[in-house]
Amino acid sequence: MIYDIIIGGGINGILTLEYFINLKKNVLLIDKSSNLLSFLNNYMYDDLEFISEGNKINMKKNVVSVKHLKDTFINKSNNYISNIKLNEEGKIITHKKDYITLNTDSNTYNCKNIMFNRI
C-alpha cells in the first residue's frame, strides 16, 4: 500500500492528517513519541493561556488555554486513530522510481509524499 506520510504528531500534524483524510487520501501520521502533542504535554502548563483567534478551533473567545488545546486535538485525533502510528521514528528514506520508502525500527512504508511537521 502506498501512503502519504505525515511525520510529527503535534497540532500541525493532526490538522494535516484531518485535511488529507477529508480529501480521501490514504494517509498515515507517524510520531516517534508514545503520545501525540508531546511538546504541549512536556513543556507547557495546562493553565497557561494566550491570545489567539479562538474561532479557528471552535471557541467563542480569544483566550485559549493549553489544556483546551490538548483536549481539542486529542479528541480530534481520536477520530483518526487507525491512521496514527506512535513509537515510530523514520530512519531511512529511499527514493524509488514511483514512490519513496520510509523505514522505521519496526515497519517499512511506501509513500507518495512525506510531510515533516518537526524541526
Q: Where are the domains of the chain?
A: 2-116
How is the chain classified by DSSP, letter by letter? -EEEEEE--SHHHHHHHHHHHHTT--EEEEESSSSS-HHHHHH--TT-EEE--GGGGT-SSSEEEHHHHHHHHHHHHHTTGGGEEES----EEEE-SS-EEEE-SS-EEEEEEEEE---
Q: What is the pLDDT of residues 36-66, one digit of tens each?
A: 998 888 887 787 777 666 556 555 567 778 8
Average pLDDT over residues 27-34: 94
pLDDT for the residue 80: 96
Average pLDDT over residues 18-37: 94
54 versus 92: the higher-pLDDT residue is: 92
CATH 3.50.50.60 holds for 2-116: yes
Cell of 74: 486529542
State yes or no: pLDDT of 5 exceeds 70.
Answer: yes
